[in-house]
Structure 1
Amino acid sequence: MDLLALADFTLVARYGGFGRAARASGRPKATLSRRVAELEASLDIRLIERGGRALKLTEEGRALFERTGALLTELDETVGAIASGGQTPRGRLRISAPLLFSQTAMGKLAASFALRYPEVRLDVTTDDRTVDMVEEGYDLVIRVNPAPDDSLIGRIFLRDRMVVVAHPALARPDDATSVRAIVRSSDQITSWAVTGPAGPARISVEPILRLTSLIMVRDAVRAGVGAACLPLSLASHDLAAGRLVHWADVDAPPVALWTLYPSRRLLSPRVSAFLDHLKDAFPTGTSAELAAYVEG
């Protein structure tokens, strides 16, 4: 296989067309078209559908791009690093992070990383859904308690736990009474399973507010509307200041924040640098450390 032709195909697929790839690379459009045609002929398969206004990869073309695009990028970066005599992080780093972590910590993290590594162009998007790292072009993904995935390597960098909190003026109900509650829009619940000095118990809830953001939920609890289930890191400063009171710990597995990246790729210098940056920011990885970082 002609690796140069494969690199030209990857360039065209990444930029979504021969014209855009030509403008980005400074190479003639006709040359890119000819090299892709030669690659198709050598493989005896069609990789790109011709004739439409927008470039469209065939199923085989999409599969080839997904498998080789990231590898060629890593190869190019490795050669560049060797040629420059070091492993200085540079280039674009795309990260997907969950909403709450993005709202509370990611801006500060991104800014300090950009100052530390000025040759890296950091691009952070906020998304709670499961993303396809290869298809969507992410180098690193941060997720909360992700499902196992054999195609990814992951490590935990923060741990948190959920607690039930309320305004000091709100009395905790007895076992037979429901409490007015603020919940996330996606939660369909009638009670919280909790643990306390007396052991496992349940708190019956009557949702009166449904909000999409946990920061919104926290603000509503501060206003005295009802009780809520929040990460300890998000509630700890209000608990310490007496603005909220702790009712119970939620009986659930700990909340773990993971960094994930494709296992088939060599770890690039920029990804390694960001992983080290997270370790420097959260050396012990506790909820108290996250709360202090957010408020600091």
Structure 2
Amino acid sequence: MDQLAALRAFVAVAEAQSFSNAARALRIAKSAVSRQVSDLETDLGARLLHRTTRSLSLTEAGRAYFERATRILADLDDANRAVGELQAAPRGRLRISAPMSFGFLHLMPALSDFMARYPDVVVDLAMNDRFVDLVNEGFDVAIRIASLPDSSLIARRLAPARRVICASPSYLSAHGAPRSPNDLKTHVCLFNSNLPSAREWRFVSPDGAPLPVTVNGRLSVNNGDALRVAALRGQGLANLPTFIVGADLQSGALATVLDSFVAQDLSISAVYPHSRHLSPTVRALIDFLVERFGPEPYWDLVC
């Protein structure tokens, strides 16, 4: 007995409540449908259908088996469709959300190369520094720089998000370099107002314990690139990711302090809504970004 064919025959009969209609839907002979269902009942050792000359209905065992059988066939169809999608070339519209600084500096150049590789993909990129609601706002994927909480979304790590405390050589020459996080209380610090605790900078002690420090300063900006400019002009110490200041650290325009105390617990991740099958286009984008950035991103190689 072909059990899969028998399963499809039984489900078709149960749904149509007719051997004749089920045979037409399956495009096989009525006798073949009847034989498959009978063979299935024999194999199971249970009657699945009440048959009379005028009606056909499910037995109690038939109802229970029908519920399981429909789920099995649906899962099989989904699996077949998923394999087909894996073979499909990426195409269609891709809505992406990304933070401003990372979007300008690194994601846009990557997307240009991604679109050159996949000419049938259309990209709609929205850059802002808030956490968008992917499902309600219709985004396919978001790039997030955070320690991500548990959620119904799926996240894939693209790269580490290393942070540094940095300042210009002129500032450090005038004010000295802090030797411990507590020394920051006597320094001028620059704040990112997008952060929930902008004036509380997180550090770790030599034994790994959290060491938050409240810092002071006169300038608060809601953009990391603007903070970089202020740091370059000697206005104070900034707490910034290396994807913004990596080239400045290489050139010597900025220098880091307190390296052994800075907490490194953030990642750059691609986040997408939970679904049973990731679309080929989203999968291709995420694979491309992992390859592009990776565990040792190019902006850290200059630091």
TM-score range, shorter chain: 0.5 to 0.7
Deviation at 1:189, TM superposition (A): 4.9
- Helix, strand or coil at the partner of 1:89: coil
Of 125-134 and 205-214, more deviation after overlay is shown by: 125-134
Match of 1:172 in 2: 177
- Helix, strand or coil at the partner of 2:217: strand
Conserved 8 A contact 2:161-2:264: no
Of 198-207 and 120-129, more deviation after overlay is shown by: 198-207
How many residues end up aligned between the 2 structures?
212
Match of 1:22 in 2: none
Deviation at 1:265, TM superposition (A): 4.1
Of 107-116 and 181-190, more deviation after overlay is shown by: 181-190
In the superposition, relative to structure 1, how do residues 244 and 86 fare at CA in structure 2: closer, same or farther (>3 Å)? closer
Match of 1:97 in 2: 98
Q: Which amino acid aligns with 1:178?
A: T
| Per-residue CA distance 1:126-169 (angstroms, 9 max, x = gap) | 133232222221111211223211x2221111102211111112
Counterpart-to-counterpart distance in 1, 2:165 and 2:194 = 18
Q: Which has the larger radius of gyration?
A: 2
Match of 1:266 in 2: 277
Counterpart-to-counterpart distance in 1, 2:112 and 2:233 = 32
In the superposition, relative to structure 1, how do residues 173 and 91 fare at CA in structure 2: closer, same or farther (>3 Å)? closer
CA RMSD of aligned residues (A): 3.2
Alignment of 1:73-222 (within 5 A): 86-145=87-146, 146-149=148-151, 151-170=152-171, 171-173=176-178, 178-187=186-195, 188-190=197-199, 192-194=201-203, 205-222=215-232
Conserved 8 A contact 1:180-1:227: yes
Match of 1:60 in 2: none
Conserved 8 A contact 2:204-2:263: no
Deviation at 1:191, TM superposition (A): 5.3
Counterpart-to-counterpart distance in 2, 1:198 and 1:262 = 38
Q: Which amino acid aligns with 1:274?
A: L
| Per-residue CA distance 1:73-102 (angstroms, 9 max, x = gap) | xx9xx69x77xx950111111111122211
- Helix, strand or coil at the partner of 1:106: helix
Answer yes or no: is 1:255 the counterpart of 2:260.
no
| Per-residue CA distance 1:44-80 (angstroms, 9 max, x = gap) | xxxxxxxxxxxxxxxxxxxxxxxxxxxxxxx9xx69x
| Per-residue CA distance 1:9-44 (angstroms, 9 max, x = gap) | xxxxxxxxxxxxxxxxxxxxxxxxxxxxxxxxxxxx
In the superposition, relative to structure 1, how do residues 191 and 135 fare at CA in structure 2: closer, same or farther (>3 Å)? closer
Structure 1 stretches of 4+ moved >4 Å: 173-177, 187-191, 195-204
Counterpart-to-counterpart distance in 2, 1:273 and 1:186 = 31
Answer yes or no: is 1:278 the counterpart of 2:289.
yes
Counterpart-to-counterpart distance in 2, 1:271 and 1:190 = 37
Counterpart-to-counterpart distance in 1, 2:114 and 2:238 = 34
Q: Which amino acid aligns with 1:180?
A: V
In the superposition, relative to structure 1, how do residues 238 and 290 fare at CA in structure 2: closer, same or farther (>3 Å)? closer
Match of 2:298 in 1: 289
Which of these residues, 223, 229, 250, is aligned with residue 239 of structure 2?
A: 229
Counterpart-to-counterpart distance in 2, 1:223 and 1:97 = 28
- Helix, strand or coil at the partner of 1:289: coil
Match of 1:16 in 2: none
Alignment of 1:25-36 (within 5 A): none
In the superposition, relative to structure 1, how do residues 123 and 180 fare at CA in structure 2: closer, same or farther (>3 Å)? same
The answer for unaligned runs of 5 or more in structure 1 is: 1-74
Deviation at 1:113, TM superposition (A): 1.1
Counterpart-to-counterpart distance in 1, 2:202 and 2:96 = 34
